[in-house]
Structure 1
Amino acid sequence: MLQVNDLEVRYGAIRAVRGVDISVAKGELVALLGANGAGKSSTLMCIAGAVKPAAGSVHLETVAIGGSSPERIVRSGLATVPENRDVFPDLTVAENLRLGAYIHRRDIQGNKQNLERLLDLFPRLAERAHQAAGTLSGGEQQMLVIARALMARPSVLLLDEPSLGLAPAIVERIYEMIATLKTTGLTMLLVEQSMSTALSVADRAYVMRLGKIEFTGTAAEIRSHTNLGAMYLGG
């Protein structure tokens, strides 16, 4: 479903991502792990079109999307949940969600059905549908940006550090929702620093260090390497 080959990302003279290969099969949830500064978010933002690749290729199914605009990439079927939980604070929850369906704006009935489905999936958002998004808690805003991305009806969802800055109980709730999304067959690439949290839902994982993939395997294989966290994740 998603194939990344020999990807390189540069910021001036700095090579933030160096020769990265990632594959995500249909229906898989794959984690991209690493300490802060490992190159995880640069990789994800390059896939999403927010950063241009210096080299390499990105394919969504058979479509080459590397270097394309973010809008074209969304239209191709890939949506991103950024790490900064960037909601439109003065708009209501429902209005934020409708903005996520912009590329399908002519499909009024389809958007209505998708909105109803997502409010069923995220009942906390349904309770706050007419509340300004800026008044939500951090956990509720994270739910909102995930649901807003899903309003684009993606075939692949990218999640960048969904646990960042949230209390452990809220992180657990967010990951319960991610696990529920997995049961729907949605294909996901998840960036996380927390190895144990990501592996609780992932099928496979890649571990990055200094811009390169250092280790890859199933969630069980990575869990079996007891020193992996200390070696590559700083824990």
Structure 2
Amino acid sequence: MLDVTDLSVSYGAIRAVRSISFTLRKGELVSLLGANGAGKSSTIKCIAGALKASGGTITLEGKDITAASPEQVVRAGLATVPETRDVFPDLTVAENLMLGAFIHRRDQAGNRDNLEKLNTLFPRLAERSKQAAGTLSGGEQQMLVIARALMARPRVLLLDEPSLGLAPAIVERIFEMIETLKKSGLTILLVEQNVNQALAVADRAFVMRLGAIVASGTAEEIRSTSDLSAHYLGG
């Protein structure tokens, strides 16, 4: 579904991502792990079209999207949930969700069907559909940005730090939702600092340090790697 080959990302003279390569197969959940500054979010932003690659290629279902704009990436079938958890605070929950469906705005029937499915997956959002998004709790806002991305009907979903700043009980609920999405057949790339939670839902994982991939394998292989903490914590 997604092939990243020799990808590099630079901020001026600073090279944040250094010629990394990885793939996502259809229906797979892959975790990208690493400490702050490892290059995980830069990788996600580049795949999503928000940052331009300084080298390498990104291919989605055989189509080169390396130079695509964020809108073109969404239209190609890939949606992103950024770590910033941005909502439109003055708009209602329902209005925020419909903004996620902008590429399908002519398919109102399809949008209604999709919204109905998401209301089942996120019942708290359904209960608050007429409430201003800015009045939601942090956990509810995280649910909203995930649901809004799903309104684009992606085949590949990028999740950037979905547990960031949330209470443990809410994190557990968010990861239950991620597991449900995985079981639905959605292909997911998960960037996460909560290693145990990420590996519990992942099929495979890659560990980044200083912009490079330093370890890779199945979730179980990564979990049992004795030097994971050294790679992960930068020791």
Q: TM-score, normalised by structure 1?
A: 0.98
**Which position in structure 2 is the counterpart of 1:157?**
157
1:160-175 aligned at under 5 Å gives the runs: 160-175=160-175
1:160, 1:166 → 2: CA distance?
14
CA distance in 2, matches of 1:194, 1:234: 15
Q: State the shift of 1:114 in Å.
A: 0.4
Q: How does 1:133-212 map to 2 (within 5 A)?
A: 133-212=133-212
In percent, how many aligned pairs have the same letter? 73
CA distance in 2 between counterparts of 1:54 and 1:12 reads 10
Matches within 5 A, 1:100-119: 100-119=100-119
- CA RMSD, Structure 1 to Structure 2 (Å): 0.9
Give per-residue Cα distances to partners, 1:135-159, cap 9 Å, x unaligned.
Answer: 0000000000000000000010000
TM-aligned CA deviation for residue 233 of structure 1: 3.1
Equivalent position of 2:61 in the other structure? 61
Distance 2:184 2:205 in 1: 20
Counterpart mapping for 1:116-131 below 5 A:
116-131=116-131
Do the aligned partners of 1:33 and 1:233 also contact (CA within 8 Å) in 2? no
Find the aligned partners of 2:77 and 2:109 in 1 and give their Cα distance. 19
CA distance in 2, matches of 1:234, 1:131: 43
SS in structure 2 at match of 1:6: strand
The CA distance in 1 between the partners of 2:11 and 2:114, in whole Å, is 38
Contact 1:81 1:149 in 2 (8 A): yes
The answer to whether the 8 Å contact 1:125/1:140 transfers is: yes
Displaced runs of 4 or more, over 6 A? none
8 Å CA contact retained: 1:35, 1:232: yes
Deviations 1:2-50 (A, max 9, x none): 0000000000000000011010000000000000000000000000000
- Once the two structures are TM-superposed, the CA of residue 67 in structure 1 deviates from its matched residue by 1.8
Structure 1 contact 193–233 (Cα < 8 Å) conserved: no
Instruction: Give the deviation of 1:232 after TM superposition.
Output: 2.3
Name the amino acid aligned to 2:208: M
| Correspondence for 1:132 | 132
Q: Distance in 1 between matches of 2:234 and 2:140?
A: 29
The one-letter code of the counterpart of 2:3 is Q
SS of corresponding position for 1:196: helix
* Aligned residue identity for 2:18: R
Normalising by structure 2, we get a TM-score of: 0.98
Q: Is there any run of 5+ residues in structure 2 with no aligned partner, and where?
A: none
Residue of structure 2 in register with 1:89 after alignment: 89
Distance 2:191 2:177 in 1: 16
TM-superposed CA distance for 1:178, in Å, is 0.3
Residue segments in structure 1 that go unaligned for 5+ positions in a row: none
How many angstroms does 1:231 deviate by?
Answer: 3.1
Q: What letter is aligned with 1:120?
A: T
Aligned counterparts of 1:180 and 1:229: Cα–Cα separation in 2: 29
| Residues 8 and 53 in structure 1, CA contact (< 8 A), matched pair in contact too | yes
For the 8 Å contact 2:209–2:234, the answer to whether it is kept is no
User: Is the 1:195–1:229 Cα contact (8 Å) retained in structure 2?
Assistant: no
- Number of aligned pairs? 235
- SS where residue 125 of structure 1 aligns? helix
3-state SS, counterpart of residue 200 of structure 1: helix
Shift of 1:193: 1.1
Q: Distance in 2 between matches of 1:152 and 1:7?
A: 26
CA distance in 1, matches of 2:125, 2:51: 31
